[in-house]
Structure 1
Amino acid sequence: MKRLAIALLTLPFLCASAFAQSGGNLKVFISVDMEGITGVVNWEDVSRAGKDYDRFRRIMTEEVNAAIEGAVAAGATEIVVRDSHGSARNVLPDLLDPSARLIRDWSGGPKVMMEGIDESFDAAVFIGYHAKAGTPDALLEHTSSGDVTDFSINGISMPEAGYNALIAGYYDVPVVFAAGDKALCEQVEGLLGDVETVAVKEGIGAAALTLHPEMSHERIRAGVERALSNLDRFEPFKLDTPYTLVLKLKTEESVYRGSFFPGAERTGDWELTYSSDDFLEVMYAFGAMRR
C-alpha cells in the first residue's frame, strides 16, 4: 500500500520527465489581457492613471506566472507570453517567471494580441480575458475598442477570444485554456467546446463577486497543467472560407471612415462587411476599419 501511494505521488513528475527525456518539445503561447484579471472591476483598475493600476499589474503578472507554472508542470520546454492589454506594457518583466519570454508593445501587424504565434507552437492559453461588447453581467465587456458594438465572422458573433482563437487556428494551434470572468468562460466554451476554463469572478451589474488571488492562481495552475497534459482533446478553431467579417460600429463617423478601406462595403446603417480567404487579411482590415 505504501509503495502504491509513493508511485501515485511521483506519477506526474515521472510523466513530465519521460516527456522531456523522449526529446519532445512542448511550446506554449500565453496571451494575457487585463480586464479579466482577478479583482478588476473598474476601468481605473486597468488604466495607467488609476490609483490601483500597479496593484493589478502585479496580480496580472502573478496569474501569468500561475499559467507558466502549470505549463512547466505539464512538460513545457518553451513558453512565450504576449502582453496584449492597452499599451502592451503591463506585465512586470522583473516579476515574470524566468521560464518564459515576454513580448511587449505593439508591432503594427495583424496578429495584435497574438503577436508572436506561429506553427511552431503546440497550444495557446488565454489569461485575463473578458466577454464581448453588450454581454449581460460581464465585467468591462467590450470588443477591441469602445467603438465596436459587434464583431462576427461567417455569422458568428464573437469576443476577442474568438478571433484570437482563429488566429491560433490559422497556424493549426489549439486554444486549450482560458481564464477571465464567468461570462467570458461561457462564451469561450460555446465557441471552442471542450476547453479548460477558470472563472476568477462573476459580474453583478457593474460589481463583481471575485475569488481571492491565491485561489485564482491555484485554479489557473491546475487547469493549464490539466489541459496541456491532454492535448489530444483539443482541435484548432477554424471556420470555412471565405471569412466574412461583419463589423458594427457605434458612430457614423467611424463607419464612414472605415468604408474607405479597400474591399470594405457598407451593408447597414452602422455596419461594414469585408471578406477574404486569408484570416490575417481580415484582421488587418478590422484594425483599419475600426479606427
Structure 2
Amino acid sequence: MKVFLSADIEGTAGIAHWDEAERTHADYAEFRNLMTAEVVAACEGARAAGASEVLIKDAHDSGRNLILDRLPPYARIMRGWSGHPDGMMFGLSSDFAAAIYTGYHSKAGSEANPLAHTTTLRISRLLLNGEVASEFTINALCAARHGVRSAFLAGDAEICADAGALVPGIRTVPTMEGFGRAALSITPARARDEIREGVEAAISALAAGPTAQLPSLEGPFEVVIEFVNATDAWRVRWYPGAYASGPRAVGFKAKDFFEIQRALRFLTS
C-alpha cells in the first residue's frame, strides 16, 4: 500500500513568522527541523497502518526543505518543482491508497494564521466557483482527479475546518490558530504524537472501508484570482482564455479540472 504525503511548513506547530519559513533566515533551521519531524511522524503513522511506501512531496517554497537523513527507509522524496500542473501533489497517481497533508495553512484573505496565503503572497484571494479556496482545496481536488482520497491533514485550525467541509470524513490535527500577528500553538511534541496517531487511524479506517469522501469534480469550473497589485492582473490576463474579472482580478473557465490546474500553473507564476 502506497501513501502520498504533501508537506508544507506554514501550518507546522509553533510557527508564527515568515522569518521561520524563509531558508535565507537564521530562524529557518529550527522550523525546517520541526517540519521534518511532523513529516516523519506522519510516515510512522502510515507505516503502522500497513503502508509499504510513503512518497513525500516537499511542497514549501523551494521544495528543498526536509532534512533527508531523517526520513525513514520506506519513504521516497520528491524535491524541487517540475513545472507540472499537479504542483504540490506532483508524483501522485491512481495507485496510491491515500493522500495526507502536513504543515498546511489557511487561505489567502484569512486572519486565522499569521502566514495565511494561497500559493503566493501576490494573491489576495483565490476563488473557485465563487468560494474562497485554499491550497488544500486545489490539492484535494487534484487528488480526487487521480481517484485518491484525502485521508488526513495537520495544520492550523481554520484549514482543518475547511478540510472537513470539503472532504467529509477526513481526520485532522489542529496545530495552531492565529490572532493578528500572534499564533497560539500546541507543542511540537504533542503535534507529532497526534499526527502519528491520526495518520495511523485514518489509513486504517480507509483499509477497513472508505470513510473520507472524494470531493465532487463535476464541472464546469471557474477560477478567479484577485491580485494584490493591478500590474500582476494585467500581465497574466494574456494567458489563453483568461479574462478580466473586476479590479486586480483575472478569471478562467473550464469543464475539466486539470485545465483549471494548468491555468493556475501559469496564472500564479
TM class by shorter chain equals over 0.9
Q: 1:84-233 alignment to 2 at 5 Å?
A: 84-231=59-206, 232-233=210-211
Tell me what 2:261 maps to: 283
Distance 1:76 1:139 in 2: 34
- Structure 2 equivalent of residue 263 of structure 1: 241
CA displacement at 1:156 relative to structure 2? 2.4
Give the CA RMSD over aligned residues: 1.2
CA–CA distance in structure 2, aligned partners of residues 261 and 137 of structure 1: 32
Give the distance between the partners of 1:60 and 1:226, measured in 2 at CA: 21
Distance 2:213 2:147 in 1: 8
Aligned to 1:13: none
Contact 2:169 2:213 survives alignment (8 Å): no
Name the amino acid aligned to 1:32: A
Report what 2:20 is aligned to. 45
Q: Distance in 2 between matches of 1:161 and 1:241?
A: 18
Q: CA deviation at 1:267?
A: 2.1
Normalised by the length of structure 1, the TM-score is 0.88
Which ranges of structure 2 fall in alignment gaps of 5 or more residues? none
The whole-number CA distance in structure 2 between the counterparts of 1:252 and 1:137 is 26
Q: Which amino acid aligns with 1:158?
A: A
Secondary structure, in 3 states, of the residue corresponding to 1:40?
coil
* Cα deviation digits, residues 85-138 of structure 1 (max 9, x gap): 010000011111222100000001101100100111110001000000111232
> Which of 201, 218, 225 matches 1:240?
218
Give 1:188 shift: 1.3
CA distance in 1, matches of 2:205, 2:159: 22
Q: 1:209 and 1:269 mapped to 2: Cα distance?
A: 35
What residue in structure 2 maps to residue 19 of structure 1? none
User: Contact 1:32–1:64 at 8 Å: present in 2 too?
Assistant: yes
Q: Note the C-alpha offset of 1:77.
A: 1.4
Bigger mean CA offset, 167-176 vs 199-208: 199-208
Aligned to 2:230: 252
Whole-angstrom CA distance in 2 between matches of 1:191 and 1:148: 22
Q: Distance in 2 between matches of 1:234 and 1:177?
A: 9
Q: CA separation in 2, counterparts of 1:78 and 1:99?
A: 5
The answer to whether the 8 A contact 1:168-1:237 is kept is no
Maintained 8 Å contact 1:36/1:139:
no
- Give the CA deviation at 1:245: 1.1
Shift of 1:51: 1.3
Residue number among 24, 27, 37 corresponding to 1:62 in the alignment: 37
Structure 2: distance between partners of 1:277 and 1:212: 44
Alignment correspondent of 2:48: 73
The structure with the largest alpha-carbon Rg is 1
| 2: CA distance, partners of 1:52 / 1:63 | 18
TM-superposed CA distance for 1:186, in Å, is: 1.5
Using the alignment, how far apart are the partners of 1:223 and 1:32 within structure 2? 16
Alignment length, in residue pairs?
266
Percent identity, aligned pairs only, is 38
The aligned amino acid for 2:55 is V
Q: RCO (CA 8 Å, sep 6+): is it higher in 1 or 2?
A: 2
Q: Shift of the alpha carbon at 1:288?
A: 1.4
Letter matched to residue 242 of structure 1 = P
Question: Contact 2:144–2:217 at 8 Å: present in 1 too?
Answer: no
Deviations 1:9-56, CA, capped at 9 Å, x for gaps? xxxxxxxxxxxxxxxxx2100000011111111000010122121111
Moved over 4 A (4+): none
